[in-house]
């Protein structure tokens, strides 16, 4: 049986005023399966093509926060239910690392779906 899932692309906008971005990960939430996971793959060369002065360490740290927020590590967000975490993580922001709009789909396996989305939306062809 397929369950509804929601996902958002995690993107890096090194110069917010220009609006140029690269996709750097996917955040996927499947409430019926109790699943929330962020998969991140930063293509540093593509990011540097947009802004050679980008703070890569800061970007890596911000991307890691998405992954940490999905896990069971200690921290204020990890005490929240998965749905609340997903909503908080996908709230609109005007920062360098942000998520795009939330989309939905159906899946039998959220982990496989997440890998498919990363391959299709994040990795360079």
pTM metric for this prediction: 0.93
Q: pLDDT of 26-76, one tens digit each? A: 999 999 999 999 999 999 999 999 999 999 999 999 999 999 998 877 577
Nearest alpha-carbon partner for 7 in 94, 93, 115, 124: 115
- Give CA separation, 101 vs 16, 39, 55, 82, in Å: 17, 17, 25, 18
What pLDDT sits at residue 85?
Answer: 93
Round to whole Å and give the CA distance between 86 and 1: 23
Continuous segment of H or E residues that includes residue 58: helix 56-70
pLDDT above 70 coverage of the chain, percent? 98
pLDDT computed for residue 124 by the predictor: 87
């Amino acid at each position: 049986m397929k369950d509804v899932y929601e996902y958002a692309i995690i993107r890096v906008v090194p110069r917010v005023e220009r609006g140029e971005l690269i996709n750097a990960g996917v955040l996927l939430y499947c409430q019926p399966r109790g699943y929330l996971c962020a998969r991140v793959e930063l293509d540093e060369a593509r990011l540097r093509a947009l802004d050679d002065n980008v703070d890569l360490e800061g970007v890596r740290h911000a991307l890691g926060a998405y992954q940490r927020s999905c896990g069971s590590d200690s921290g204020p967000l990890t005490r929240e239910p998965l749905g609340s975490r997903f909503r908080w993580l996908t709230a609109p922001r005007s920062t360098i690392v942000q998520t795009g709009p939330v989309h939905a789909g159906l899946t039998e396996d959220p982990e496989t779906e997440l890998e498919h989305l990363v391959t299709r939306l994040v990795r360079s062809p």
